[in-house]
Amino acid sequence: MGRQLLFLLVVFLTNVIQCVTGFAGTVLAMPFSVLLVGYDTAKPVLNVLGLLASVYVVCFCLRQIDRRELLKMTGVMLLGLVAGMALKPYVAGDPTLLYGLLGAIVIAFAVMNAAKLLMHKEDVRLPAPVSALLLVSAGVVHGLFVCGGPLLVTYASGRLQSKDAFRGTLSAVWILLNGILFGADLAAGSFTPDVVRLTAFSAAALAAALVVGSFVAKKLSRKAFLYLTYILMLISGVSLFLK
């Protein structure tokens, strides 16, 4: 019970950060969640929360969605998503490999994005081959851990200049991809009574986080929160190697 309460606290805090920065909620929550409730519980619960949060954002940014980029992102990422879902049974069967792989991915995200922030290169448009590789990789990581967001953000930062277009388009991508993962989790029987109950409590924590995050976003610097996010991502990634 104590671990589940800590999990709800993680859901709340990481989604406050998600609301302020526009990304990183799931990738920040996943390492701590895996340690607290295990991969088989954390993945379906965080996927549902990501789906709910995305629907919330799209409701406010529907008209600003860049449909051309949406089709491109979902088309390429679907290929990676299928690959990630196919790899999942092999990775999930070895906890040491699972934690090490997730830790390495999270640390790489933290270092890469912190370096871009320090060099003021958040909005660089990448060459087409690099962009395609990023999208496929984002799909693979999302299929495995439901946290392909930072890779997609890296791709989209140089292509979607409007804040609402950025948030709306990326959220629409997650609705489609998380919806597919949700269907796969249902078919696999991942939503046991305990997982359903934890999902319901987590949805309440998410709702509270969206309210608090919206308030905090108006008061504090997004850049300061980005630095905090990357520091926490680094700590959470390193913690997985100590498991």
Q: What is the pLDDT of residues 106-140, one digit of tens each?
A: 888 888 878 877 877 666 677 888 888 989 999 99
pLDDT at 123: 61
Instruction: Look at the alpha carbons of 223, 227, 139, 41 in this order and tell me if their dihedral is positive or negative.
Output: negative
Residue 205, pLDDT score: 97
Q: Which residue has the higher pLDDT, 154 or 171?
A: 171
Residues 93, 227: Cα–Cα separation, whole Å: 34
Task: Say how far apart CA 75 and CA 233 lie, in whole Å.
Answer: 28
> Cβ distance 178 to 146 under 8 Å?
yes
Q: What is the pLDDT of residues 172-184, one digit of tens each?
A: 999 999 999 999 9
The pair of structure tokens assigned to 142 is 């999302």
- Calpha distance 156→113 (Å, rounded): 13
- pLDDT for position 197: 97
CA 169, CA 84: separation in Å to the nearest integer? Answer: 22
Give the whole-angstrom CA distance, residue 193 versus residue 136: 34
Reported residue count of the chain is: 243
12 pLDDT tier (thresholds 50, 70, 90) = very high
Q: What tokens does 203 get?
A: 């949805």
Residues 6+ apart with CB under 8 A from 162: 64
Of the candidates 232, 230, 238, the one whose C-alpha atom is nearest the C-alpha of residue 117 is 230
What per-residue confidence (pLDDT) applies to 179? 95
Provide the pLDDT for residue 234.
Answer: 83
pTM of the model: 0.84
More confident residue, 156 or 157: 156
Per cent of the chain over pLDDT 90 is 40
Question: What span, in angstroms and rounded, lies between the C-alpha atoms of 79 and 74?
Answer: 9
